[in-house]
Amino acid sequence: MNPRLGITAGLLLLIAGPVAAEVYRNVDAQGNVTFSDEPSKGAETIKVKPVTTVTLPKPQNVKETDKLREEVKREGSIYESVSFSYPEDEQAFHTGSGDVRFEMRSIPGLKPDHRYEVTLDGQPVGQSSSGTVTVSNVFRGTHEAGIHIVDQNGVQIKTGSPIRFTVHRPSTQN
């Protein structure tokens, strides 16, 4: 017999072995459950689902992601700051309709392919290149608003300090 053929057949058996392995479940007289890869008296065969595998990204793709992060960091560094002009932090105001108008500014001013993004209680509620975003039907109570500058792909490149404000609205129950 050819030695190469023997080695190849052995490798194939090693590879195919785990794939064809079965799992057996056995319950003893005391109710203890055991699992084994060897059959025993009274054991039932268990079908095992295939193992989920995760393919890691290739190193060159990780390097491209690092380059993108560096680009975003460099792009964000062109802005000294971004902040709300209105409402002010810890401000409380009345609004019958629940409409809140946010006014934003940045130093230097917004670049042509960038936008301001406003989040309310952690959720994005609007984007604008004009510096104002109006959010309708904001519920009564205290909220937190965040501000970001995003690029043309929607990637946040600069984040400002969040503000808290309180909305007072009329209620039919009061």
Which domains does the chain carry? 3-53 (no CATH), 71-168 (2.60.40.10)
Q: Which residue is listed with tokens 């971004």? A: 82
pLDDT value of residue 51: 76
Distance CA 101, CA 112 (A): 22
Q: How many CB atoms lie within 10 A of CB 170?
A: 10
pLDDT value of residue 144: 96
pLDDT value of residue 152: 85
**Summary count for the chain: helices (H), strands (E):** 2, 12
Mean pLDDT by runs of 10 across the 174 residues of the chain is: 58 52 86 87 85 72 59 71 95 90 94 93 93 93 95 88 93 67
**For residue 109, which of 80, 89, 148 has the smallest C-alpha distance?**
80
pLDDT value of residue 13: 52
Q: What's the sign of the alpha-carbon dihedral 129, 130, 131, 135? A: negative
pLDDT value of residue 171: 73
pLDDT value of residue 122: 92
pLDDT value of residue 119: 95
pLDDT value of residue 1: 52
pLDDT value of residue 2: 57
pLDDT value of residue 74: 64
Q: What is the pTM of this model?
A: 0.57
HSE-CB for 88 with a 13 A CA cutoff = 3
Both structure tokens of 156: 């946040």
Q: What percent of the chain has pLDDT over 90?
A: 40
